[in-house]
Amino acid sequence: MKDFVEIRIIEAVRKMLSGRVNDVLREAQFEIPIIEFGDYEGGSVVVPEIALTTCERTEKERIVRLDAYSLTIAFNFPDKQESELYCYAYSAAVGKALNENPTLDGVVERTVITGKKYIQPKKTNCGESWGLIIILRITVETNEQ
């Protein structure tokens, strides 16, 4: 039995984040926490939240039998001096990884970034965190008859 397409998409995105995105971050001139998945806490790693939803297909996508998904990757960073830099570094690293591999190793037909949102604390040094939200649009060939 094949896995559900949604599970394959999420696993492919996790693999990209913990693989190529981390490689890009390691190449940076300054130290940036790497991405890990699990029950990590603290400043040495970042654990992004991934949410997948279906989205409306265009007429062309219906004709060529493509399903469309919206995937959100959310990062939170404690309010520190370098947090704003982290937002831009992770954003650039995800963009570079997707430009190099828009099919996520053949799991999907195409992945594009449709939005990025940088969230800064309303007041600095008040315990609020910085945030980065990256929204992807993913198309996958459907198996409907």
Q: Are strands 45-46 and 34-35 parallel, antiparallel or unpaired?
A: parallel
CATH code at position 88 = 3.30.70
* CA–CA separation, 91 and 88 (whole Å): 5
**129 contacts: CB under 8 Å, gap ≥ 6:** 76, 77, 78, 79, 83, 121
Looking at the 3D structure of the chain, how many domains does it have? 1
Domain that holds residue 137: 5-141
What is the chain's alpha carbon radius of gyration, rounded to the nearest angstrom? 16
What average pLDDT is seen over the chain?
A: 89
pTM: 0.89
Count CB-CB contacts under 10 A for residue 32: 19
* CA–CA separation, 66 and 103 (whole Å): 14
pLDDT-based confidence at 145, cuts 50/70/90? very low
Q: Model confidence over 14-48: pLDDT tens digits? A: 999 999 999 999 998 888 999 998 877 666 789 99
List the beta bridge partners of residue 138.
69, 111
